[in-house]
Structures are given as structure tokens and as C-alpha cells.
Amino acid sequence: MGSESGVIQFRRGLSLEKGKYPGFNPRTTTANGIRSDFDVAVTMRDGITIYIDMFRPENGGPYPVLIAWAPYGKHGRIKYSYFPHCGVSDQDLSAMAIFEAADPKYWCALGYAVIYADPRGAWGSEGDLLLLGNQEAEDCYDLIEWAGIQPWSNGKIGMHGVSYLAWSQWKVAALNPPHLAAINPWEGVSDFYRELAFHGGIPETAFLSMWHPSVSFSNSRVEDLVKMADEHPLFDGYWQSKNADLSKIEVPCFAVASWADHGLHARGTLEGFTKIASKEKWLMIHGRKKWENFYQNAERQKQFFDMFLKGIPSEVQYWPKVLLEVRERYYLGNFRKESEWPLPQTEYKALYLDAVNKALVWEPPSAEAAGRYNAQVGAKTNATIQFDHKWENRTELVGHMNLKVWVETDGGEDMDLFVALQKIDRTGDIVPFQYLGNHEDGPVALGWLRVSHRELDQALSTSFQPVHTHRHELKLHPGEIVPVEIEIWPSGTLFEAGETLRVVIQGRDIYTYPDDMNTIAHAKTVNSGEHVIHTGGRYDSHLLVPVIPQQPLR
């Protein structure tokens, strides 16, 4: 089997028994007013059979349907207890609920049916397991259309869920299945290459390797994502095939993003919301733990689906188009109503890097200077460089940022740059934020770039959001100084007067959690020797920040 850019590499699926698969057991049960149908066969357009579990109210109908689509196992293999401090207890959910999906106990009581699917090749479903490609989108389309014509269905299908369950929504919604009436992507990647597999062109080596086995339980073959990433280091047809054409999505959408999910879903959800063609779309951006936030907002989800799947007027008609949280620190922030994303009132201002004073300043330094750090793997000293700006007035930064730096390396022909933005309080301590679903000491924002990937996609880039083509490698020559623009993923942060914005640059990951399964890392760097950051004079190294004008107090 081929992809748009070569042959797909497969490996044998993992044993179903190791994944605690309960075995194929078609049956119907009723309890507490819910009818549950297990291992229901649904035939795809090419004759392949997949299996689903269905939950719906025992009596009455017809009902709108919520579909959760992911290969994690409809029997609920993954538990929230695997992720300490994630804010969700498995005991808070019913025994029917699965990871990152709607809980049937809650939704059936509200008059909804819920479907959990094992996609093609996953668990007991037939075929090979190809992840997040066109085949999977077509299969999900077929399930939506099947559900839309069942006698117990009202013909209105919604999609719902977090992470993979959000990611899959972009793909199938772009195909516009006739019975798909609404989507609710809760933090989902929309560009596999840029947002998960290669951050700034640097290969991701922790999350992908940890996550891949969890989507590899199969009686057949499984697409070997780790091997495919090794074979496709540039953005080519293989990666393009995993991205939805967002401009084709027209269905009503309630998208939810998090400032706290840098390196996974933060960028993709915001890109998805911005680029879809839906006339009826809403965005919520929070800074909390994603799974906890998902279940805490069940009532808001109900309002959305009631309107578009049941035709019941709800508070959605009064929602702001954008509801976002401006964070102050861990679990402290304020939500605000806005009309658009990115915020139209944003004033983009340049803070110039000053290598002499290790500062960020409003006026470009006249004198040229250079700051150095040791980029060698395992460097214990002088392994980072930082630039600080202390705010004189209360300041909000909400949106995208662009870090332009002039760089040079005295070793090798390439550089991997890792950037973190931090908030420093008045006493000099780093202010912690939520990060990646269960960490509590994260950054304001992150950015990455492999310097040989510095070529910009002029059609996609803006002054505040550089987007790189990742189609060519532009190696460095000895002594060559080049400008690069680094996309800093979007954030929303309040700085009080006397607090500091810090830019940290180094040659390896700045936030590391080696003993945690929910983390990102980049072990395959190209760095050697020292990295040099040039500032001042000819070298207009600067951070473009999104300043939100402060409203006068009333």
C-alpha cells in the first residue's frame, strides 16, 4: 500500500490480550434506563467490517447521536489514573465511559445516543490500521451515515471528544457527511507534522514513541508511525495526507483550545477554528488541564448539541464568538468575551534582544553584540541564554509571537533552537502554569526551530506567525550568520507592573519530565559546539509580542 509520497511501512499489531481486550461478544444489556449494544457490526463502503458499542435511552426515541472515533479501544483500556495530577478520577465517571470521550451515563440521561467505534484494523475490527489518513476519514464518514439512518436515530449526528477524538473530527468534517450536524473538537492537532511529529522541523522522540503503542492493538498490520517519521523528515505528501482541508469544513463547530497544551494540541485547534469555513462557529480557549476542563464543561457541550442536534434554542445563540482565559499563574486567570480570533485590537510590538545586558528593550541596540551558549548534548554549564523585560505597566499578551534571531554556530552545519517564554514574579521566581494535561510547572509559551528548516512559507506566514515550508534543508556554512523566525505558539498571559517576561534559548528541551508518559522531548538533535545569538546594529533580533490595549477602569 502506498502513500502520496512512497510506501507505507507497517508492523504487526500488538496482542489484543495485552490490551485487556474482553473478547468479541455481541450482546445487548439494559440497566438504569440505558440500552447497551456491544460489538455491533458496521460495513464500510469497501466491504470491511468495523465494530462499535452503542448506548442509548432504553425507551422512546429517536435520538441524536454522538460519535467518539479513536483506536484506543472502545472497551476502555486507557485510564486517567495513568496520568497523575490530571484532575480527573476514573471513579468520577461511569463504568461505560472511555478515555477522552462522552460518558454515556450523562448523555443518555439527556436523550442522546452515544457510539464508541473501533476503527478499521483496531482491536477486533477488520483491515489494516492506518492512522489519521484519508481511509480513516472515509470510514468515519460511513459510520456517520449508517448512524444517521438507524430507526432509533433522529438523523442528526455530532462528533465529540478530546485529542485523537478531536483530531479525527477535522478529517471527516472536511468530507461533509450529510448526516453530520455538528462537531466539538476539544483540543486536537490539525497539522501532524508541525504540531506533533516535528516541532520546528526537530523530530519529537518521546510522545510519539509512547503514544504509538496505545494505537497499535490489532489482529492485522499497523502503520509504523515512528518508522515513517524517520523516513519522512520533511513535509511531503505523506504528512499532507494526514491533514484535513480545513477550508472545506462547513458544519457548526464549537472548538476548544488550551494555552497549556504546547507541543500537542494548542496550535492545531486554533488553526482549525481560524481556517474552517463554518458560518456558525465558536471558540473557547482556557489555560487549564484538558481532561479536567472537558468534563467540567459538560453543560456547555449540552447547550451546543441541543441547538444543532435537537433543534432546541439554547444559550449558544448568546455566546460570544470567542471566550478566552487570560492566565496570571497556575489555576489563576480571568475569562473574557471577544468577537474574533486572533484578537483584532492586538498591537504587535517589537522587543529587541540586547546581548550585552541580556535584556529585551523597546529600542534597537545600536551596538552589535553576541551572546553564546554551549549547545553540546549534556552540557552542564553555560547551556542557556536568557533575555528579560520588566514591565513598567500592567500588560496583557494574548496571541501569536514571532522570535526573529540572527544565529551562528561554531560547530557543525545546523542548529536546533529551543525557546521558552516565562513569567517572573516581583521576587524573581518563575511563575508556574498548567502544561500538557497533568503538569503544574509549565511555561508561558514554547517554540522550536531546526535552522536548516528556516525557509518560510510566504503564503501561510504573517508578521506575527511565521510558518515554515519544511520542504528543504538549508545547511549553514562556517562563519555564516543567518536570520531565522521562530513561531512561538499562542498564549494568553497577564503581567502586572514589576513582573518580567523572560525569553530562554538553548540547544535542548527546556521543560523535561523523563519519568512521565505524558510529555514531549527531542533527543535527536543536530547540535554541536556553541550557538551564537547576534543582536544590535545590523542584527535586528527581536520578539514580536501581541499587546492588548488595556480598557480604562470604570
pLDDT of residue 250: 98
* CB 543, CB 403: distance < 8 Å: yes
Say if residue 344 is preceded by a cis peptide, omega within 30 of 0: no
End-to-end CA distance of the chain: 65
b (16+ CB within 10 A) / e for 520-551 = bbbeebbbbebbbbbbbeebbbbbbbbbbeee
Residues 6+ apart with CB under 8 A from 84: 438
User: In this structure, what is the dihedral angle of CA atoms 187, 188, 193, 199, given to the nearest 10 degrees?
Assistant: 10
Q: What is the CATH number of domain 347-548?
A: 2.60.120.260
Beta bridge partners of 413: none
All CATH 3.40.50.1820 domain ranges of the chain, comma separated, are 2-243
Q: Cell triple for residue 4?
A: 502520496
Cα 489 to Cα 274: distance, rounded to the nearest angstrom? 15
The one-letter amino acid code at 43 reads T
Q: Cell triple for residue 330?
A: 497556575
Q: Where are the beta strands (DSSP E) in 187-301?
A: 198-199, 202-203, 221-223, 253-258, 281-286
What is the bridge-based pairing of β-strands 113-118 and 221-223? unpaired
* CB 145, CB 67: distance < 8 Å: no
Residues 6+ apart with CB under 8 A from 18: 217
Kindly report the number of other CB atoms within 10 A of residue 448's CB atom: 26
* CB 522, CB 202: distance < 8 Å: yes
b (16+ CB within 10 A) / e for 294-313 = bbebeebbbbbbbbbbbeee
DSSP string, 27-96: EEEEETTEEEEEEEEEE-TTS-EEEEEEEEESSS--EEEEEEE-TT-TT----GGGSTTSS--GGGS-TT
Backbone angles phi, psi at 534, to 5 degrees: -95, 135
| Residue ranges for the chain with pLDDT beneath 50 | 1, 4-5, 553-554
| CA-wise closest residue to 405 among 376, 373, 438, 370 | 370
pLDDT of residue 69: 98
- Exposed, middle or buried: residue 198 (CB in 10 Å: 0-12, 13-18, 19+)? buried
All CATH 2.60.120.260 domain ranges of the chain, comma separated, are 347-548
- Exposed, middle or buried: residue 552 (CB in 10 Å: 0-12, 13-18, 19+)? exposed
**Element spanning 489, H or E:** strand 482-495
The stretches of 276-377 forming alpha helices (DSSP H) are: 290-296, 298-305
pLDDT of residue 377: 80
Position of cell 445563540?
317
Cα 9 to Cα 231: distance, rounded to the nearest angstrom? 9
pLDDT of residue 4: 47
* CB 483, CB 404: distance < 8 Å: yes
Kindly report the number of other CB atoms within 10 A of residue 480's CB atom: 11
Cα 333 to Cα 87: distance, rounded to the nearest angstrom? 17
pLDDT digits (tens, 9 = 90+) for 97-154: 999 999 999 999 999 999 999 999 999 999 999 999 999 999 999 999 999 999 999 9
* CATH 3.40.50.1820, applies to 2-243: yes
- Exposed, middle or buried: residue 40 (CB in 10 Å: 0-12, 13-18, 19+)? middle
**Distances from the Cα of 90 to the Cα of 58, 80, 86, 283, 302, angstroms:** 25, 6, 11, 28, 21
Cα 282 to Cα 188: distance, rounded to the nearest angstrom? 15
Cα 259 to Cα 444: distance, rounded to the nearest angstrom? 8
Packing angle, helices 164-173 and 134-148, rounded to 10: 80
